[in-house]
Amino acid sequence: MSLLRIARTQINVIPTRSLLLKSCFSSNLSISKRFNSTNKENKLNPESIVSTYSQGPITIKYTQEHEWLSFHPDGTTFVGITQYAADALGDATFIELPTDLVGESISKGDTLGSVESVKSASEIYSPVDGEILEVNEELESNPGLINEDAMGNGWIAKIKVAELDSEELLNEEDYKKLLEEHED
C-alpha cells in the first residue's frame, strides 16, 4: 500500500534532452488530450520585452526540445520554453537559473536552468553558443510566470549569440508539424 502511494507522488525527472514528452507520459493518450494547449499559441507575446527589445526584424525559431529563440538584429537572443512545453509541465513551483554564469560563455547543450512543477522536473539546455547577458530573475520569485506567459515575460535567458547555427532550428511551420506528430 505505501509503495503505491510513493509511486503516485513520485516526481518524474526527465533524464534526456527531450524536454517533457518521452519520459513524462507513458500512456497511450495523446498529448493533445492531456493538455488543452490549443487555447494558447506558441507565438511571442507582442507586448513583452522579447518583442519590444529592439527595432527591426526579429527572427523566431524553435527547437525539437520545445524551446523558442527570438533573434534580434544586434545578435541578442532571448530563450525560453514554448507554451506547449509550459502546458505539458503543469504548474511550475521552482525555477533555477544560472545567475552565477551571467557574463560567461555558454555552449549549445549546456544546462541553462531547471524547472520543477507539480508533475515533473526538467533541465533546460542552451540551444545556441554565446554569452549569457542576463537571466530572468523574476522567474525565481514567480515561477508561475512561465506558465502564464512562457513566450513573453516568462523568458529564461538573454544570450549574445556567437554564431547562429540555424540548421537544427525550426521555423513556425515546422514546429507546428512537430506538434502535430506528437498528437498522432
Write the pLDDT tens digit of every residue in 124-169: 999 999 999 999 999 999 999 999 999 999 999 999 997 777 788 9
User: pTM of the entire structure?
Assistant: 0.75
Alpha helices in the chain (DSSP H): 2-9, 21-24, 31-34, 49-52, 83-89, 138-141, 145-148, 172-183
- DSSP category for residue 39: G
Distance in angstroms (rounded) separating the CA atoms of residues 136 and 127: 17
Residue 184 pLDDT = 62
C-alpha gyration radius of the chain: 16
Write the pLDDT tens digit of every residue in 64-109: 999 999 999 999 999 999 999 999 989 999 999 988 999 999 999 9
Res 4 pLDDT > 70:
no
Distance in angstroms (rounded) separating the CA atoms of residues 110 and 124: 9
DSSP strand pairing (157-161 vs 76-81): antiparallel
Contact assessment for residue 107 and residue 101, using Cβ atoms and an 8 Å cutoff: no
Q: How many CB atoms within 10 Å of residue 129?
A: 17
Contact assessment for residue 98 and residue 132, using Cβ atoms and an 8 Å cutoff: yes
DSSP strand pairing (130-135 vs 157-161): antiparallel
